[in-house]
Structures are given as structure tokens and as C-alpha cells.
A and B are shown apart, each in its own frame.
Chain A
Amino acid sequence: MFGWEFPPHLSGGLATATLGLVKGLARRGVAVTLVVPFPVGEPAIPGLRLVSGTWRRDRVRSIRIATPAQPYGGTSAYLASRTYAAGTEGTAVYGANLFAEVDRLAGIAGEIALDEPHDVIHTHDWITYAAGMAARAVSGRPIVAHLHATEFDRAGDGANPWIAARERDGLRGADHVITNSRAVKRQAQDRYGVPEGRVTAVHWGIDDVYEQWTGGGASPLPADAAIVLFLGRVTRQKGPDYFLDVAGRVAALVPEAHFVMAGTGDLLPRAIMRAAESGIADRVHFAGPVGGAEVDRAFRMAAVCLMPSVSEPFGLVALESLRAGTPCIVPPAAGVAEVASNAIKIDFWDVDKMTRTVVDLLRDRDRREQIGARGREEVASPRFSLDEPARQIEAVYRQAIAAHPGVGHA
């Protein structure tokens, strides 16, 4: 399996999804060799959410290749990270740009495919597609390409045509494609022309074993403060501006409302400046990156979690919010909206409706708790466990392997 950042440093995102998938597969007895192109050492944040009673380490091998490639930022974030990574120990000589890094990973992938016995190659998003192809060229095993988000989801109109081209080639060249929602599946078909029979939508699940907040009162704010939470990367894709729009309006209507933005990203400075200008700087708080039990703490302290994502291929954060019993507002186009019936669906651009809904929830504690309880109950069902996506993906593996009769079992 070719992934990147692993284990995850933050809630949500691909790394968390990969971790969940690997754990689910391990529980089913599928052995995974995970190749990650990220120059991280051992988890630096104490209490990282890697702990799980059923976690079978011996079934997962992780090979870390030093590279500064980052999945979300495109080439500019890559250039910024390079300076940092170049100074760390044990990193290799780097190419001139992100694409060179991707190609370098692909170059190494062939060698790894020779050394590591495998039946199927699982790649995650465009950055690893070329590596998958290189591995297949050596081993002849089928490729299952996972599409978590398209370049258009990440960058909108600013989509990088080179990345989109790699995405297209990777998807068309794969033996089978897995998307994490029906919406992304449609994109794979419509945008990239992958035939319907070669795409399967598999929705994510969440781990029932996770680091819980045990410190008592979760909110650092006064007892009467009602918190609206934004948790995720502070990037265009996640709609931080819409969150602040809603914050400004809700603040005027609910005096005890406070707003917490947890996470970091290229739009964080702008969000901080906007909060300062808004006249409610005393009620907009910035928690920075959160990890470990603080993620659970953030959900628990919140009265409502607001995800005004411009694009949300899946939206694992919504499941984590519901798991904590915190009502969550998601855009109807989010992958998670296809499966979580207790998530509240409002379009990211509908600031009026988000405002009304948040105000209603803040004012009506009973209703809030009812919705929270229903959501918690829903995500506790086996449908949302890690086992469910693992089961479906294993079926895709078997189907792909069966379609490659020419290759002997390794």
C-alpha cells in the first residue's frame, strides 16, 4: 500500500483514514506493507491516537521514505516544507519540485515491489499513483487506486492541470478504483471517464477505540459559554470564511456564543485577522493544531460543530463529532452526508440557514442533546465501524486479484 503521512498528526484527513483502513484490514487478517513518503520520525505529539486494544502491529509494516512531499498544499506548500525537511536527519537528496518527488517515489516503488511480497497494490490519491504503476510493472499485481479527493475538490478553480492529468492517468490505468463517496465516484466517471463497473464507493468508518478526554470540564471558557467549533485544516476547501461569516451573525444574536477554530493551514493568518476585525475578537478563539485526547475534548466542549466545507469528499470529522454526541452541520454534497442521517445538512454558501440552525441549537439545549444522542447512537452502529470499509475493500481486492489470473500467488 502506498500512502503518505502516517501515523496521523491531526484529526481527519487522509492519514486518519489510512490508519483506520489499515487497522480494519489488519483485524480481518489482511497483511499490509505501508509505504509512506513523508519525513516524519516517531509520533511527536504525546498521546497520539494510535492506541487501540485490537491493533495488530505485526500485521503492518511501515516503510518510510524521506521526502518533503505533502498531499494538500500543492507545489507552493511543498517548496515551503522543503527547507524544513532538508535540515532533518536521514533525508535523501531532493529533486527540484513536487513532481520530481512523486517520480522519485515511483522510482523506488519498483524496488520495493521486488522485495515485498504482495497480491494487490493499493494507492492513495494522485501522489502515489505513479508509484503504484511502477510497482505493477515489476510485480504484475493489480492496482486498486483509492480516490479520496480530486484536485478539483482541493483547489476548486485553481486546480493544477498537471496534477489533474496525473490523477486521470492514475485512475484510468488502475484495475479498480475506490472512492469514499458516491459523489466522488460520479466525479471519477464524469471527469476522468472511468467506467462505472470499475469504481466502487466505500464510505469510511471510525475506530471505536480512540483517545478520550478524561479531564473533567472540557471547555476552557466560562461555564455559560456555548461553543461553535470548526475543526480541520484552515484552507479554502474547508470554508473558514463561511465559518467566520456565521460566527459574526450568531454572535450578534446569542451573547454567550463563542467560536473556536482548531487546526492550521494557509488561511489561518487571514482568519485570525478577520476575527480581529470582526468586533468579536474576544469570542473567536484559535486552538491551533490539536491532537490526541484534545480532539475528543474539542468535540465535547462544543455545543455544535460547523463544517462549511466548499468541498468535502468524505468528512471524517463529522463522524468524530457525532461520536462525541455533538451535533454537526455538514454540506449535503459531503460524502459523509450520504450515510450519516443525523448530520445536519446545509450548503456551505447558505450562511443564513447555517446561522438560524446554529442559533436554534445554541438556544435549545434539549433539542441539541436529542440530536447529539441520536447521532452518537447512529455512529455506534457496525455500519460505521472500521470493519465495514475494510470488508468492502477486501472484497474489491479479491475481485481485482481474481481478474488477474495470469499471475501466481506470491
Chain B
Amino acid sequence: MRDVCLYAQVHQPYRLRRFRFFDIGTGQTYFDERQNRELLLRIAHKCYLPTNQLVERLIRDSDGEFRMALSLSGTVVEQLSATAPHVLESFQRVVGTGGVELLSETFHHSLASLGQTAEFREQVELHRRTIARHFHQRPRVFRNTELIYFDDLAPTIEALAYAGMLVEGADGVLGWRSPNHVYAATAAPGLRLLPRNHRLSDDVGFRFADRRWARWPLTADTYAEWLAASPGDSIHLFLDYETFGEHLWAETGIFEFLRHLPGACRRRGLRFVHPSTLAERTPVGALSFPRPTSWADEDRGVTAWLGNPMQAAARARLHQVGAAVAATGNAQLLSEWRRLTTSDHLYYICTKWSNDGDVHQHFSPYDTPYDAFVTFMNVLQDLELTAGEAGGRASRRSRLDTGERAVPDRHSQSARV
């Protein structure tokens, strides 16, 4: 009997407001509360609520035979908790069925795994606590931001006591091997790697609604047939949760597809399993990822976030300011800085205007990557200034506090840090 491991990522960043050079030092908030709230509610309406409801029903109707994994970034959980508690409850309900396994990641959906090991561990721990508080689960499997993985990361993940990790089934890494097995990490033989089957995953995630695709329209039946005909032991299908209803609107039939998928799979002898179940398996071999590999773009590298000089400069500045913030020991400033570590901020600065670039534009709140860069750098300048003042035990903000301002979430959130 072949296994199917379905996993989906749930993430929303804290998007920045338009922050001009002359806004620096005026006490303006960094994050666009209104935009973030409205987007969250819109996505909840189109995706989270209906999908959670459907998944809950599929689990109950199949007596737990249908099961899947989710990972919710800390930034989305925090935003749901603050502005849409009924949506968070809907996630809690579906997790409460026992059919949904939660995975670990960095709280801030950051790139800290690329060299900031101490910060990485702290963000993972923050996430672990958040998941424990809201969902009472302790994840045993890790998924890094955008599935980024490379050999040097393996010992860190193993040391954090994770049994397995999701990785991209990149062709360049797998070579002749199939993604449909459980592998060991060469750099940490105790750690199991579950490679994403990107062809079958993207058939749903990217191609499902593409009318130019020869296989359109794709039915659950046909798809289950493909799964059953695939070689290997277990098929790892990793997607954005927002695929259901947000990236692909309900009109595309994506919910019908999901509704019929468990039955179609059962009829073909396919069984749904959780990642932690697979992480107990004996690996068929070991995989080595010499370079950071992600699930994004054609190149499967990290160029979507670190591919141009602006992104490199923005990241260097982020760490420079991070050091200044850390030196203050101010928990509120640290929390704001961490929101800036969310990989989306660098993703918006991507200048690839290929097919990949189209995807980037779809997700960006900015007109151009240059606007994204300038805004990000202005915010960092402001934060550095604030940190400098905080270090000097002076409250610059209160001194300059003369004009009107929006309800500042940077102040109201401080109590929770």
C-alpha cells in the first residue's frame, strides 16, 4: 500500500506601511495594520475558513483515514489571534480532530537558517511555544521557511530533537533517485528527509487552473490514478494552504477536487500518512544538499530572496540593525526587528522579471521592487535610530511625539512580548 503525505503551509507576513525617508524619526508605525487585517480577513474568508471546514469534514467522514499536516507561521498565528480569533478557532477545531499534524518552523518565517544559528534557534523555540499554547502539540517534524535546506543545517535540526524534515525534491539533488522515499541526511544520519514531489505537488499548486495545460481540467480521480501509478513508497505533496480558495479561487473547482481526493485515493489503495509517521521509517539512502535549496522558482535556490544587490544590502542592513537592537536588550524593539526578518520583505525586492517574476508581483504590496527596498531600508534606519536612543536610556519617540498618529501597534503589542 502506497502512502500519500499531504502538507500545506499557512503564512502571512506583517506587511510594511509606506514609510518614506522623511517619516524616519517621526514615531510612525512600521506595519500597515489596516492592510494586514483586511488581507487576513479576505484570505480567511476565501481560504482558511472554507478549507478548514472541508478538511475537518473529510477527516471525520473518513474516520481519520484522511489526514494531513499543516505548518502555521508564528506571524500568521499572532495576527489571527489579535484580529481574527474566530479563524484561529477554526484552525484549532480542525487540529483538534487529531487528523492534522502540525510542523515546526521559525516563528517569523525568516531566513535565519542561512547563517544566524542562534537567532534561528530562538525563532524555532518561539514557534514551538506558540504552537504548544494555541494547539497543544509538540511537532516532531521540521519545515524550514520556503523549504530551505542544506547539509550544514541538518545537525542543528537534529540537535533540536526533530525526527524528520521536509525538503524540496530538487532534480539536481535527487538525480536518478525518486522523491517518493524517505531518505537520511548525510550530514546527520539520524535525521529523516522527506523530499517534495514537485511535479505532482505543482500539478495542484500551479497547473490546476491553467487552461493551456494539456491535462486541464484535472479531476481528483485522474490525480489519484497518477499517485497510484507513481513509483516508490510515499508521495510527498507539499503546497501553500492558500492554494485552496486564494491562489486558486473556488470557481476553479479546487474545493471539489479536495473534497473528492480522499475517496479517490482510498479506491486506489492509497493511504494518507503524517510526516512523523514517515520519519520513523528506515531510509532508502542518504541525500546531500551542498547548497541551500528551496521550493521557490525554477532554480530552487534562494535567489528569490537573495538574488540581487538590493536584497543583499537589505539583508546586511537587517543584521546590522539587529545587532544594535540586541544591544539594547529591549524586548519590544527585538519583536519589531524580528517581524522584519520575515522572508517576504526580501521577496518583494526580487527583480526577476521572468515567469517567476510574475509570481513575485502577484504577492507584492509594492509597485516596484525598488519601492520595497527603499521602504525596508527607511524602516531599518528608523529602528536603528530608536535602538540608539533606547540604548541611551532616552525616549526619542516621546520627545518627538507632537503630531497625530495611527493607533501604534508597536506600543500596544509590547505587553505580549
Contacts and interface: CB of A to CB of B under 8 A. Distances in A.
B310 A222 contact: no
Interface in A193-225: 220-222
Contacts of A220: 21-26, 381-382, 385
Contact of A285 (B313, B316, B370, B378): B378
* A contact residues, range: 20 to 34
Nearest to B25: A220
Given A220-B21, A276-B309, A297-B22, A285 B377 contact: yes
Given A222-B385, A276-B312, A281-B313, A268 B370 contact: yes
Given A269-B370, A272-B370, A272-B374, A281 B21 contact: no
* Chain A interface, DSSP helix/strand/loop, else mixed: mixed
Contacts of A273: 308-310, 370
Contacts of A297: 22
B171 to A, nearest CB: 32
Contacts of B259: none
B414 interface: no
B317 interface: yes
A260 interface: yes
Contacts of B21: 220, 260, 262, 285-288
Contact of B320 (A222, A272, A282, A288): A282
B20 interface: yes
The 4 closest A-B pairs by CB, nearest first: A220-B24, A281-B313, A287-B21, A276-B313
Nearest to B321: A282
B388 interface: yes
B357 to A, nearest CB: 14
Interface string A260-289: 101000001100110111000110011110
Contacts of B20: 287-288
A294 interface: yes
Given A272-B374, A276-B373, A281-B377, A287 B317 contact: no
Interface in B287-329: 308-310, 312-314, 316-317, 320
Interface residues of B, number: 26
Nearest to B23: A220
B317 A272 contact: no
A281 B370 contact: no
Given A220-B25, A272-B310, A294-B22, A286 B374 contact: yes
B309 to A, nearest CB: 4
19 contacts: A220-B22, A220-B385, A222-B385, A222-B388, A262-B21, A269-B370, A276-B308, A276-B309, A276-B310, A276-B312, A277-B309, A277-B313, A281-B310, A281-B314, A281-B317, A282-B381, A285-B377, A285-B378, A288-B374
Interface in A244-263: 260, 262
Contacts of B373: 272, 276
A329 to B, nearest CB: 22
B222 interface: no
B368 interface: yes
Interface string B363-396: 0000010100110011001100100100000000
Interface in B242-286: none
Contact of B368 (A262, A269, A276): A269
A273 B313 CA distance: 10
Given A220-B25, A273-B370, A282-B313, 19 more contacts: A220-B21, A220-B22, A220-B382, A220-B385, A221-B25, A221-B381, A221-B385, A272-B374, A273-B308, A273-B310, A276-B314, A277-B313, A282-B317, A282-B377, A285-B378, A285-B381, A288-B20, A288-B21, A294-B22
B313 A287 contact: no
A94 B179 CA distance: 57
A286 B24 CA distance: 12
Nearest to A277: B309
Contacts of A281: 310, 313-314, 316-317, 377
Nearest to B385: A222
Contacts of B374: 272, 286, 288
A286 B20 CA distance: 8
Contacts of A286: 21, 374
A282 B313 CA distance: 8
A213 to B, nearest CB: 10
A46 to B, nearest CB: 13
A272 B24 CA distance: 18
Interface in B75-108: none
A222 B374 CA distance: 18
A260 B381 CA distance: 13
